[in-house]
Structures are given as C-alpha cells and as structure tokens.
Structure 1
C-alpha cells in the first residue's frame, strides 16, 4: 500500500532505545502504512543494527549532528505529511494517525502531541524541578520540547531546508504562528527527562545555547514567565520546596551557561537514554 505518512528518526548512539521505540510505532500498522526512515548518525554502537527490520529503511552517515540526520532522512521520505521523532521518545501508531489527521485540517501546517513524562528512575530534586518547569511551560507549549512534530507539505516549505541549529524543534516552532500550529490531544508522546541534576543541567545549558542561537537568527523563543511561579505556589500546583529546588537549579543553569560561553555541544545527552525496563530483552 502507499504510505500515509513518513517518519524520520535521527539516532546517535541510540542502540538501547531505538528498537523498543520502533516496535511501539509499528505495532498494529498495515504493511507499508508508515514510511519510516532511521538515520544512524556518527554512531559508535549498534544503532543501525537495532533499527533494522521490515518496514524500516536505515541510513548511516559518519557526519555528526541531528539536523544533518534530519535533512538526510527528510530527503529520503516518500510522502507528506512527515513526522520527525526523537529516537528516545515513544510514539504509537494511533498518535501518528491523529497527528496526520490534524495536519490535514484547513489552515494547520504543523502539529505536536501532548507529552507524557516518564519519571521512572529520576531523582527527587529532578522530579521537583520538572514538576515546576512543566507547569510553567504548559500554557505556551506547542511544537518544542515534546520530541515529536509533524509537518504537512506547506509547513515543510516553511521549515526546510533546515539550517544548522542546535534546537530543531525551536526552529520549527518559530516558523509558524497562532492556529498554524496545533497541539493534538488525541496524540501522546512519552518523554523521559534527564534522571539526575547533572544531566538536567547539561541539557539546560544546551537548550539555552540553542535559544540564543535562534534569537540571533531572528527566531526568538517564548520564554518562561518566572512571575507565574508565585501563582503556582499560591494555587498549590507546586510546593514551596518544589519552587526552591527549581530556583536553585535555574541559578546553576544560568551560571554554567555563562561559564561555558558559546562552546558548541552537539553530543547526545545520555541522561535519559536508558533502556526501557518494560521492553523485552
């Protein structure tokens, strides 16, 4: 059958997670329903072998960088709309279909699912920080930070060719306005945040660097409103201890960003790349 949607999965050293993600993505699909392309970029593990299966095309490149992998995978896609999925994020077939249906609505060019956060194995401070961060960002969340977005053909013309940016989802989010981008309640992605404070800080430094880069390209992001933190505490959405942990880690985050300056870090954050304990060995 002709594919109904293409799925691009960039994967750098994702041997531990890519197989289970593909199993979930393809479960219950008709043969050929999804056109799936995994791009194993600069891998030193067996990511390509773990991804190999019927219904999946695996490309390999020695060139590092997620955006390069996205461009290679995108060039190999057969149809629109196109889903761009992080290798460590879980997305099932029903969610892909819901995203594709939403991307076909008049005026909609790009969509993302609602994230569900898998906090298994995370430390208590990280849990508190994540609780606050999620509630602060929820009102303005769109295409960025959920590990998945989908573009129809018109949306693709806005976002591609994608420049060499650190934050691909931030770039894509900035390509659209208002109702052109939609969050699809029927679609869910399962995202694993970093497990430790150290891993969280490594990720946040990269996020800040990516945001600064986008601002320099004329694509400023939608920043968090820290003034809303008091309202969350007053409304008991988060506790005072949650807020204190968040502010302490935020201060460390900003300090590290200043100390590290503009040094690029294109590596994978392995803080959340642990094997799914529910997946078969």
Structure 2
C-alpha cells in the first residue's frame, strides 16, 4: 500500500512515551498507510529501540535540537501532506486521516487538531490555571500549542526550512493567515500539560524565550488582554476561584521573569514541548 501521509516525530530521551504514542497512531492504520519517521536526537536512553517496529523508520543523530531533528525527518519523508508530531503527544489514525483530508481542501495550506488535555495527576491549583488558559487561547488557537501541525506541499514551501527556534509551531503558525490554516474539529490530539505550579512556571521560562526568538524574527505572538479574563468570568465559563489562581500564578511568573531579567507579558504559550521536571512526561499546554 502506498503511504498517503508522512509523519515526522522528533524525539529526545522519550523512551517512556514514544512507544505508547506510536501504538496509538498505528493501531487503526492499514499496513503502509502512514510513512512514519522517528528522529532520535542526542538520546541517552532507549528511545530508538522502543520506537523500532514495523511501519516506522528510525533515524538517529548525535546532534541535539528539535529543529535539526525535524529537518532530518522531513528530508526522509516520502509523501505529502506531512504531519509533525511531538513524541509525547498522542493522536490516532482517524484524526490523522481527518487532518490529511483537511489539508487537501482548496486554499488550505496547514491544519491542526483540537487539543484534549490529560490532567490526571495534576494539582488543584494548576488544574484551574490550565482551565483558564485553555479558554483564553481557544478563540485564537490554530497551529501552535497542540503538539501537532500538518502541512501540504505548498504550505511546506512557505514554512520550511525552519529557523533554529524553540517554538517551531509558533513559527509555522505565523507563516499562514486566515483560511490558509484551519483547526479540524474531527481531529484530536491528547496532550499533558505540567502537573505542578513549579513545572508550569519553569515551562513559562521556555515560552518567554521562544516568544522573544519569534519576535526577533518579526513574528510577534498574539497577546491576551485582561479584559478577556473578565469576559470569561462574566460568561460564567470560569469561576472566581479559577481566575484568582490564574492571576496569582501569573503574578509569580512575572516576578520570576523580572528577577531573571526576562521579558514579561500577557502572552500566549507558543512553545509547548516540555518534560515536567516534577513528575514525568508532559506535552503541550
């Protein structure tokens, strides 16, 4: 069977999650339907061995860095459209097919699924922070922050080669406007945000660095305003306790940014790939 979709999965020390992710992806796929390339980059664990299975090509490189791994995997791809998938994000075959169908629509150059958040094991405060954040960014969410994006051949020509940035999905998102990029309601990605407030704040440091890199390249991120939080409260989409937890953690984030001399802002989370330093593998938020 000729592959209909290529899937690139950059993976750095992901032996604890890569197997389950590939199982979820391939369980509903016909043999040869997906051209899957895993790029194990600078791994010190068994990522490559765990990823090896029928239907998956595993490339290994001693060079660290997600963007380098994406370029290696992309060069090995056989077909369009191409799915760029974080190793710790799960997506099934039906969702990949829905994304491929959307990428084939006239005028669509890029697409992404709707994220679902796995908050199992998350503390009560960080759960509320995630709830608020998700509702704040939902109206403007497109390709960034969901752990998966898809490009057709024309979209690929516009977005690649990727610059060496933390937020590759933020860069790709900024390459398209309007109806060129779509969120596919029939497709879902399962992502695990940070489990603790400490992990969330550490992740925010990475997000700020990623946003600064994009701004330096002329791709400033979309910002959120305090009025949006008020609108969620007025519409009873969040509770006053949700808002209070979010604001307290936001204040802590801004304070840490000042202490470290970093830029602050009421910004979206453009960078999403991370590992929870306090409790296991995590993904986009």
* TM tier, smaller: over 0.9
C-alpha separation in 2, matches of 1:174 and 1:111: 13
Tell me the equivalent position of 2:118: 118
Tell me the equivalent position of 2:223: 223
Tell me the equivalent position of 2:173: 173
Distance 1:68 1:273, change over 3 A: farther
User: How many pairs does the alignment contain?
Assistant: 274
Per-residue CA shift, 1:22-41, capped at 9, x if unaligned?
00100121111100000111
Distance 1:214 1:242, change over 3 A: same
C-alpha separation in 1, matches of 2:56 and 2:117: 27
Distance 1:251 1:212, change over 3 A: same
Of 261, 269, 276 in structure 1, the residue corresponding to residue 275 of structure 2 is 269
Following superposition, the deviation at residue 259 of structure 1 comes to 3.2
Distance 1:261 1:165, change over 3 A: farther
When normalised by structure 1's length, the TM-score is: 0.93
Tell me the equivalent position of 2:232: 232
Distance 1:66 1:259, change over 3 A: farther
Structure 2 stretches lacking a partner, 5+ long: 263-270
CA contact (8 A) 1:14 1:273 kept: no
C-alpha separation in 1, matches of 2:168 and 2:125: 28
C-alpha separation in 1, matches of 2:255 and 2:42: 31
Tell me the equivalent position of 2:21: 21
Following superposition, the deviation at residue 73 of structure 1 comes to 0.6
CA RMSD in angstroms comes to 1.9
CA contact (8 A) 2:11 2:41 kept: yes
Per-residue CA shift, 1:240-268, capped at 9, x if unaligned?
11111111111222232333346xx9x94
C-alpha separation in 2, matches of 1:43 and 1:242: 39
C-alpha separation in 1, matches of 2:142 and 2:221: 11
Tell me the equivalent position of 1:62: 62
C-alpha separation in 2, matches of 1:32 and 1:69: 23
The SS at the match of 1:94 is helix
Matched, 1:143 2:134: no
CA contact (8 A) 2:8 2:70 kept: yes
Following superposition, the deviation at residue 131 of structure 1 comes to 0.5
Per-residue CA shift, 1:84-107, capped at 9, x if unaligned?
000110100000000000000000
Following superposition, the deviation at residue 269 of structure 1 comes to 2.5
Tell me the equivalent position of 1:253: 253
Following superposition, the deviation at residue 275 of structure 1 comes to 6.7
Per-residue CA shift, 1:2-45, capped at 9, x if unaligned?
11000000111111110000001001211111000001111111
When normalised by structure 2's length, the TM-score is: 0.92
